[in-house]
Homo-oligomer: A and B are copies of this chain.
Amino acid sequence: MAPRSNPRKLVHPLEGYLGYQLRRAANFMQADLVRRSADLGLTIVEMSTLLVIEANPGVTQSEIGRLIAIKRANMVPLAAGLIERGLILASPVDGRSLGLRLTAVGMDLAARVRQRVAENEALLFRNLADDTAKSLPRQLQQIWREA
């Protein structure tokens, strides 16, 4: 992919920016997780949703959306797809909300998702020093979390 001869030296004006490095690192993570989970037939957002339902049986679409930053409108086809594939079940908690739970198949799949995510995490940490790496998730959370 790199040119054979005379690969010109370029200045990289974005390299030092935190925002740029966030985007590159996030894209790298996403690309690896997609590839690593291709056989599961789930997108990243679907995997995230599955894990949230696993940890919170009976959770509603809106609650999931608030927890992991997915708009209500986008939760609809997402949940419908998971129901259609037999991974989750919806049962009314009141006249308008639906409580979501994993099916047995969904539970098995969620366990495999957790495995793939653990592999993905190991890749992200592979070049980081142990001491600095431990605090990295918390540092990143401080970036976006409301004060």
Contact = CB atoms under 8 A, between A and B. Distances in A.
Interface of A: 1-2, 8, 10-30, 33, 44, 48, 51-52, 54-56, 59, 63, 66-69, 117, 120-121, 124-125, 127-128, 132-133, 135-137, 139-145, 147
Given A13-B52, A52-B14, A63-B10, A19 B141 contact: no
Copies held by the complex: 2
B20 A22 contact: no
Nearest to A9: B56
Given A1-B66, A136-B139, 7 more contacts: A10-B52, A13-B51, A14-B48, A18-B133, A23-B29, A23-B44, A28-B143
A147 B17 CA distance: 20
Contacts of A1: 66
B69 A18 contact: no
B55 A17 contact: no
